[in-house]
């Protein structure tokens, strides 16, 4: 509250300053710049105006301490306060919030770099920097907020929309098309250079490229939020001139990367109602649609919350729903899952899947290739303002050479797929009688864990410890699993396993769904198709057994008993890991370096020296560990 008042006083001071300026005689001026200066009369008016502003703003703030904002609006509305006035309060409130948040963040940045230390004048200087920077940044932020307003149908530029083709003829044309599209920012920077591409109805497209490639700029143009491009933009085959960009805004909605720019009203329900009002809905119809959206998107409990008090995931969700409320034909999302945890990422992906099924065209930008590979059917790759690649997703993801060349990671499923084109061969039953001392590589044999309970979690822990990638298919996860999912330790597919068609690219399947009958049925399918599998409900049934494994100091120990006695194998494993000396891995690494050097050395004297050093280190290592233990 005090900080808000301080910031507000500073801006009131700035805005009343011009009132005190004027022309006058020497005696009527406080400061005289040759007939111009701060006039005595003007100063009195300025001070009075300033005090009045401050008093009314402070009383409003005080009121807001006790009365939630949405209640205040209800009161104002019931008193018949003009709509314009209420909207003005809404925007002012939001602007003060932007100021406060910006100031708060700069202050934190100053403190974290040992700001606010030293003499009074230095402290004063730091405070001055905070205020001036707040002012500049809040201007930038309010520009972005304005984009957020426009992306949801707010119009104040008096733009004309283009004359429409008939619906029937529209379907003959691509939905969106850009030809040789270029764009310069005001400082002259050319952010887009001759981009040409066509977007058809119902497509799911991922726009990828490194920072600064021009993705957000292209999105701003496609959604009609930037003007003065050069080149051609077509919507349903109709050429759109920059002054007709409102047609783009009506059909193409953009969810900005930073949700704070998209959310500006005092409550979640007002956020959603904003777009509905811009669509022309009023009273009963508006209320009905609002309730429908709040229920469908699970926001009823948050309806009165101010958006800036929500978590990042909740903010993104509200921003997405608020944009969907306007029912756009094309939905563009700028990095939709940046800063989201696994659960919110899945929620967003599920929603996008539903929208795709409902026929929407969706374009996302992302730096997460796993996400892009899960979402998109087509991928556009940008570099330095140019579109350098436009390909079907499988085609691009399998092109490891191009991806490597562009320093983009190949999605995991595609890295492994290249090794396993051939269908798995059935495993002959007699082979199951042997315990093969093999460490299978999950790159060539991807793993799917089915189930999200504690049993499966215990198996998963060993994989996580050794950084072996795997997927988990389960409609819900136990707490430990959820925590690991949040850390991104594995890929969660949040649905129930229904049979072999769900196995995907996996070659090893561990079943732990808690229903022995079901597990057996699934196991029979897997066995017939030649997969490696294991059942938690019946350890004797699978063709793959989990031994007790421990990974420590660069060594993986796997203990397996012929008599399937996990309590014994677990104990042996624990004893081994407890007694393995610390620093063992460093000595192993040194030993391996000696061996490598020995193989490469050509000089005989050098070889002898290295051989002696190798033998000495090996002997001391065995002495300290294995010999000691066995004697
Ligand atoms: N308002 C602006 N004024 C001047 N240059 C800008 C402005 N906004 C962006 N740029 C420049 O345009 C280029 C493209 O920026 P853009 O935000 O479109 O990239 P991007 O691919 O979305 O990057 P990121 O992945 O980091 O979000 C960058 O070099 C950036 O510095």
Whether 247 and 381 share a structural domain? yes
Rounded distance between C-alpha atoms, residue 94 and residue 595, angstroms:
66
484, 519, 546: which is the final residue of a domain?
A: 546
Ligand 1 touching residue 461 (CB < 6 A): no
Which of 137, 189, 384 to mutate to test ligand 1, by most ligand atoms within 8 A of the CB atom? 189
Which of 143, 215, 363, 366 to mutate to test ligand 1, by most ligand atoms within 8 A of the CB atom? 215
Domain count, the chain: 4
532 near 561, Cβ under 8 Å? Answer: no
Whether 143 and 194 share a structural domain? no
Q: How close is the Cα of 207 to the center of ligand 1, in Å?
A: 14
pLDDT per position as a tens digit, 370-425: 899 989 999 999 999 999 999 999 999 989 889 999 999 988 777 765 544 444 44
pLDDT per position as a tens digit, 470-481: 999 999 999 999
- pLDDT at residue 564, as a whole number: 66
Q: What is the DSSP letter of 475?
A: S
| Domain residue limits at 77 | 2-150
Q: How close is the Cα of 333 to the center of ligand 1, in Å?
A: 16
Q: By mean pLDDT, which of 117-131, 179-193, 368-382 is the weakest? A: 117-131
pLDDT per position as a tens digit, 472-516: 999 999 999 999 999 989 999 999 999 999 998 899 999 999 888
At residue 629 the predicted structure's pLDDT band, cuts being 50, 70 and 90, is very low
Q: By mean pLDDT, which of 106-120, 280-294, 415-429 is the weakest? A: 415-429
Average pLDDT, rounded, for the chain: 81
Residue 178 resides in a domain: yes
Rounded distance between C-alpha atoms, residue 352 and residue 345, angstroms:
11
Q: Give the residue carrying structure tokens 């958006």.
A: 307
- pLDDT at residue 212, as a whole number: 93
Residue 492 resides in a domain: yes
Whether 138 and 184 share a structural domain? no
Whether 94 and 200 share a structural domain? no
Of the two residues 432 and 57, the one the predictor is more confident about is 57
Of the two residues 161 and 220, the one the predictor is more confident about is 220
Q: C-alpha angle 154/159/165, rounded to 5°? A: 100
192 near 232, Cβ under 8 Å? Answer: no
- pLDDT at residue 57, as a whole number: 73
Of the two residues 420 and 296, the one the predictor is more confident about is 296
Q: How close is the Cα of 142 to the center of ligand 1, in Å?
A: 17
pLDDT at 167 over 70: no
- pLDDT at residue 425, as a whole number: 42
Q: How close is the Cα of 383 to the center of ligand 1, in Å?
A: 12
At residue 631 the predicted structure's pLDDT band, cuts being 50, 70 and 90, is very low
Residue 574 resides in a domain: no
Whether 50 and 122 share a structural domain? yes
Whether 195 and 313 share a structural domain? yes
pLDDT at 161 over 80: no
Whether 143 and 189 share a structural domain? no
CATH classification at residue 532? 3.40.50.720
Residue 418 resides in a domain: no
CATH classification at residue 387? 3.40.50.300
Rounded distance between C-alpha atoms, residue 294 and residue 276, angstroms:
13
243 near 155, Cβ under 8 Å? Answer: no
pLDDT at 23 over 70: yes
Whether 90 and 180 share a structural domain? no
Of the two residues 80 and 447, the one the predictor is more confident about is 447
At residue 164 the predicted structure's pLDDT band, cuts being 50, 70 and 90, is low
Q: What is the DSSP letter of 26?
A: G
For residue 534, give the H/E element and its range. Answer: strand 532-535
**How many CB atoms neighbour CB 20 within 10 A?**
21
At residue 37 the predicted structure's pLDDT band, cuts being 50, 70 and 90, is confident
- pLDDT at residue 427, as a whole number: 42
Mean pLDDT for 343-359 is 87
486, 516, 546: which is the final residue of a domain?
A: 546
Shortest-distance atom of ligand 1 to CA 218: 18
Ligand 1 touching residue 566 (CB < 6 A): no
40 near 30, Cβ under 8 Å? Answer: yes
pLDDT per position as a tens digit, 542-584: 888 777 777 777 787 778 777 667 778 888 888 888 878 778 8
Contacts of 510 (CB under 8 A, 6+ apart): 447, 448, 449, 450, 456, 459, 533, 534, 536, 544, 546
Of the two residues 590 and 71, the one the predictor is more confident about is 590
Q: The tokens of 582 are what?
A: 């610390």
Whether 400 and 443 share a structural domain? no
Please report how many Cα atoms fall inside a 13 Å half-sphere around the Cα of residue 570, on the Cβ side: 7
pLDDT at 346 over 80: yes
Residue 224 resides in a domain: yes
- The residue nearest atom 24 of ligand 1, judged by CA position, is 211
381, 413, 445: which is the final residue of a domain?
A: 413
Q: How close is the Cα of 174 to the center of ligand 1, in Å?
A: 27
SS3 of 580, please? coil
Task: Please list, residue by residue across 225-246, b when 16 or more beta carbons sit within 10 angstroms of its beta carbon and e when fewer do.
Answer: bbeebebebbbbebebeeebbb
pLDDT at 120 over 80: no
Whether 438 and 409 share a structural domain? no
Ligand 1 touching residue 168 (CB < 6 A): no
Residue 466 resides in a domain: yes
pLDDT at 158 over 80: no
Whether 463 and 409 share a structural domain? no
Q: By mean pLDDT, which of 73-77, 256-260, 289-293, 568-572 is the weakest? A: 73-77
Whether 144 and 267 share a structural domain? no
Residue 165 resides in a domain: no
- pLDDT at residue 70, as a whole number: 65
pLDDT per position as a tens digit, 205-217: 999 999 999 999 9
Ligand 1 touching residue 191 (CB < 6 A): yes
Contacts of 123 (CB under 8 A, 6+ apart): 116, 117
Q: By mean pLDDT, which of 136-145, 263-272, 293-302, 540-549 is the weakest? A: 136-145
- pLDDT at residue 169, as a whole number: 56
Residue 570 resides in a domain: no
Ligand 1 touching residue 22 (CB < 6 A): no
- pLDDT at residue 110, as a whole number: 61
């Amino acid at each position: 509250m005090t900080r808000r008042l301080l910031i507000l006083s500073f801006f009131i001071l700035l805005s009343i300053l011009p009132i005190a300026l004027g022309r006058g005689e020497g005696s009527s001026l406080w400061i005289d710049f040759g007939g111009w200066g701060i006039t005595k009369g003007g100063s009195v008016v300025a001070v009075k105006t300033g005090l009045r502003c401050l008093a009314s703003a402070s009383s409003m703030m005080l009121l807001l301490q006790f009365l939630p904002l949405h209640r205040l609006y209800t009161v104002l509305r019931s008193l018949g306060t003009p709509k314009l006035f209420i909207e003005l309060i809404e925007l002012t409130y939001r602007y003060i919030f932007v100021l406060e948040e910006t100031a708060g963040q700069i202050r934190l940045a100053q403190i974290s770099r040992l700001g606010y230390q030293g003499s009074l004048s230095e402290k004063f200087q730091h405070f001055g920097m905070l205020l001036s920077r707040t002012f500049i940044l809040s201007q930038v932020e309010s520009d972005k907020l304005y984009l957020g307003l426009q992306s949801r149908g707010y119009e104040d530029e008096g733009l004309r929309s283009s004359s429409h083709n008939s619906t029937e003829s529209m379907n003959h044309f691509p939905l969106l098309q850009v030809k040789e599209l270029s764009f310069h920012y005001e400082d002259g920077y050319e952010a887009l250079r001759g981009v040409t591409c066509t977007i058809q109805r119902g497509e799911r497209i991922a726009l990828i490229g490194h920072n600064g490639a021009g993705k957000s700029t292209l999105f701003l143009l496609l959604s009609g939020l930037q003007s003065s491009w050069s080149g051609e933009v077509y919507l349903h085959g109709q050429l759109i001139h920059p002054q007709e960009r409102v047609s783009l805004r009506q059909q193409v909605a953009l969810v900005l990367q930073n949700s704070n720019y998209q959310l500006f009203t005092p409550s979640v329900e007002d956020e959603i109602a904003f777009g509905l009002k811009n669509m022309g809905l009023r009273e009963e119809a508006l209320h009905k649609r609002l309730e429908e959206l709040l229920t469908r998107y699970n926001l009823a409990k948050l309806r009165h919350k101010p958006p800036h008090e929500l978590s990042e995931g909740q903010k993104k969700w509200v921003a997405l729903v608020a944009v969907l409320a306007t029912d756009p034909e094309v939905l563009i999302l700028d990095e939709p899952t940046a800063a989201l945890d696994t659960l919110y990422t899945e929620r967003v992906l599920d929603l996008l899947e539903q929208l795709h099924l409902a026929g929407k065209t969706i374009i996302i930008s992302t730096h997460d290739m796993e996400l892009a590979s899960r979402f998109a059917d087509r991928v556009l790759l940008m570099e330095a303002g140019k579109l350098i690649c436009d390909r079907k997703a499988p085609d691009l993801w399998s092109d490891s050479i191009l991806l490597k060349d562009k320093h983009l990671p190949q999605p995991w499923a595609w890295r492994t797929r290249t090794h396993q084109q051939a269908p798995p061969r059935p495993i002959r039953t007699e082979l199951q009688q042997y315990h093969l001392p093999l460490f299978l590589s999950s790159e060539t044999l991807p793993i799917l864990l089915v189930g999200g309970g504690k049993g499966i979690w215990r198996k998963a822990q060993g994989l996580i410890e050794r950084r072996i990638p795997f997927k988990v298919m389960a409609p819900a996860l136990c707490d430990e699993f959820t925590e690991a999912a949040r850390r991104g330790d594995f890929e969660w597919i949040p649905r129930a396993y229904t049979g072999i068609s769900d196995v995907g690219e996996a070659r090893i399947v561990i079943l732990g769904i808690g229903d022995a009958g079901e597990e057996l049925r699934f196991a029979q399918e897997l066995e017939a198709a030649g997969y490696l599998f294991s059942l938690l409900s019946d350890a004797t049934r699978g063709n793959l057994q989990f031994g007790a494994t421990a990974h420590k100091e660069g060594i993986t120990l796997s203990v397996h008993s012929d008599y399937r006695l996990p309590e014994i194998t677990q104990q042996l494993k624990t004893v081994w890991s407890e007694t393995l000396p610390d620093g063992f891995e460093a000595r192993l690494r040194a030993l391996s370096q000696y061996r490598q050097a020995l193989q490469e050395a050509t000089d005989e004297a050098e070889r002898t020296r290295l051989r002696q050093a190798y033998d000495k280190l090996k002997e001391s290592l065995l002495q300290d560990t294995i010999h000691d233990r066995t004697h």
